[in-house]
Amino acid sequence: MHEEFLCFVPISSTTGKDLASTILTQLSQLGLNLEHMRGQGYDGASNMSGKYRGVQARVKEFYPLAMYTHCCNHVLNLVISTSSQLPDIRNAMATISDTCVFLSRSAQRVSIFQDNVERKVSTSASSRQKLKPICATRSVERHDSIIIFVTPLPAVVSTLEELQQENKQVEVLTTAATLLNSVQKCTFLIAALVMQHTSGIILPVSKLLQKKELDILQ
């Protein structure tokens, strides 16, 4: 299998019919023989994957052998991202993301956090790496974000306590106090450790599903 970027194409309508027409026209202009088309891959949006009026259905009207496949890694990502049935997990992700953004928003906060990491975390884990907000769209990017947050959690707590006690800006003080309360709750701590464990299992699966040489049997 060989993947190659072709081009960006401006669009004015996002209906399945118009998108399909744009795609087929552009591919024809690039000199590709569409009679050889055997596959289509999109996300699960209704205008792309719709059974009757989506892009895949419109394309198959002209090229019946172009089978549609919803990207398996994208499906996995949707399952992980859509945590409406697990509010504690969803809330913990939001807390981690909000805390990372807050502590990374100024050089002073970054410096305070890194100083606390050196004091509170073991030498093997006390790198001066910045916290990474949880990626909203790619599950494969979340593993590092969670690990980087959970491992130096004592330093996160100390940093928030310091900002809460010593900062003179009301907005910063209030945000620090709110986040400090959130990261010390039992439900958050359990959810964070569960995510740390499960993301370690999901990460290799995500990477496997993106391998170029992966076939249907694997």
Q: CB atoms < 10 A from the CB of 68, how many?
A: 17
Q: Closest by alpha carbon to 197, among 92, 119, 101, 121? A: 92
**Span 19-38, mean pLDDT?**
95
Say whether pLDDT at 218 is over 80: no
3-state class of 137 per DSSP? coil
Query: Would you say the C-alpha torsion 77, 83, 86, 87 has a positive or negative sign?
Result: positive
Determine if residue 119 is left, alpha or beta; phi over 0 gives left, psi from -120 to 50 gives alpha, anything else beta: alpha
pTM summary value = 0.66
Per DSSP, the three-state class of 86 is coil
State yes or no: pLDDT of 56 exceeds 90.
yes
Domain boundaries, the chain: 16-70, 83-209
Residue 77 has pLDDT above 60, yes or no: yes
Most confident of 3-12, 113-122, 140-149: 3-12
Give the pLDDT confidence score for residue 128 in this predicted structure: 53
Closest-CA residue to 35 (of 3, 6, 62):
62
Helix axes 72-81, 186-209, angle to 10 degrees: 180
Q: What is the pLDDT of residue 27?
A: 95
186-215, pLDDT tens digit by residue? 999 999 999 888 888 888 888 888 787 877
pLDDT band at 120 (very low <50, low <70, confident <90, very high): confident
Residue with tokens 């087929």: 24
Give the model's pLDDT for residue 126. 47
The torsion of the CA quartet 74, 55, 66, 138, rounded to 10 degrees, works out to -10
* Across 128-145, average pLDDT: 73
CA-CA distance, 144 to 147, in Å (whole number)? 5
pLDDT higher at 74 or 18: 18
What does the pLDDT average to over 64-90?
A: 79
Question: What pLDDT score does 72 carry?
Answer: 78
The span from the CA of 167 to the CA of 164, in Å, is: 6
